[in-house]
Structure 1
Amino acid sequence: MDFVSLAVGFLVGSATGAAGTYFGNKYTDKRKKIEHKKDSERFFNDLWSNHQVLLTEMKQDLLNPEYEFHREFFILNKGGCFNHAGKYLAYFVEDHTHLEQQVKILESHGLIDNVTEYGKNVQKYQWSEPFASHLCTT
């Protein structure tokens, strides 16, 4: 076996392996991206079908120019007292059946965070930015 044919065989084999790895990763990434998009669409379709009334109200609030950049909201009772400086968003337990459970489901999926201040009796939540933008675009 001569040195030239050995070197050429090594280079061709290396190039073939590198090209195979590159194209394998490229198409695997494309497939995973498509699968992720389908899973995300399915997740949000299920979410909308199960929580349509609440999510529709949230969407309307976020599309309102007065609340366009608000990312926090409160869970309140209509009969209770609440003192807050400035404008705020609130959802009332009396208007939504199972509101607290729906909010906990959204929280468990990482779509909102509980940001209730220590020592306060009023529940305060914050939308994640990706969820807020999803609400505004659907």
Structure 2
Amino acid sequence: MDLLSLSIGFLSGALTGAAGNYLADKFTDARREKKEAKASEKLWKDIELRFPEIIEEMRSDISSPQGKGVRAFFIKESNTVIAFTSEPCFEYHTDKHPELRAAVLYLAQHGFVQDITPGNTPMYRINERLVDFLRNT
């Protein structure tokens, strides 16, 4: 065996292996992204079915001209007042939506909102993924 044919065989084998590995990773990533998108869509449909009134109110708030840049909300009763706010916030009322606390906990569990309560009144930050879901449907 001469050195030239040995080198050519080695290089072609290395290139074939690298190309095969690259293509396998590429197609696996694409399949994984599709699977994650499908699971995320299924989760969102489940949330909409569980809490339709709350999701509809959030959707109308986010879609309003005043609510386009708002990314926080308080949970409180209708007859209470919030004395301070450092940023514009939505308010959702537990006496209007009895299942509100359960809905927010479910949204927090799946990463759609984050608890940022500064005092006694629960306050949450809205994740951009939730904003996208609310605006797209």
Q: Distance in 2 between matches of 1:15 and 1:88?
A: 57
Against the structure 1 CA distance between its residues 5 and 99, is the aligned structure 2 distance closer, same or farther, given a 3 Å change threshold? Answer: same
Residue pairs, 1:27-46, within 5 angstroms: 27-46=27-46
Q: Distance in 2 between matches of 1:10 and 1:42?
A: 48
Once the two structures are aligned, what percentage of the paired residues are identical? 32
Residue pairs, 1:1-138, within 5 angstroms: 1-84=1-84, 88-117=89-118, 120-138=119-137
Query: Aligned-pair distance for 1:106?
Result: 0.9
Against the structure 1 CA distance between its residues 79 and 18, is the aligned structure 2 distance closer, same or farther, given a 3 Å change threshold? Answer: same
Query: Aligned-pair distance for 1:90?
Result: 0.7
Q: Distance in 2 between matches of 1:41 and 1:32?
A: 14
Q: Distance in 2 between matches of 1:30 and 1:133?
A: 21
* Contact 2:71/2:89 (8 A) holds in 1: no
Which runs of 5 or more residues in structure 1 are unaligned?
A: none
Given the two structures, how large is their TM-score scaled by the length of structure 1?
0.89
Q: 1:105 is aligned with what amino acid?
A: Y
Against the structure 1 CA distance between its residues 17 and 87, is the aligned structure 2 distance closer, same or farther, given a 3 Å change threshold? Answer: closer
- Cα displacement string for residues 80-120 of structure 1 (whole angstroms, at most 9, x for unaligned residues): 34334686411111111221121111111111111111xx2
* Contact 2:113/2:126 (8 A) holds in 1: yes
Against the structure 1 CA distance between its residues 4 and 92, is the aligned structure 2 distance closer, same or farther, given a 3 Å change threshold? Answer: same
Against the structure 1 CA distance between its residues 3 and 79, is the aligned structure 2 distance closer, same or farther, given a 3 Å change threshold? Answer: same
Q: Distance in 1 between matches of 2:80 and 2:14?
A: 73
Q: Secondary structure at the match of 1:97?
A: coil
* Contact 2:70/2:88 (8 A) holds in 1: no
Against the structure 1 CA distance between its residues 87 and 14, is the aligned structure 2 distance closer, same or farther, given a 3 Å change threshold? Answer: closer
> How many residue pairs were aligned?
136
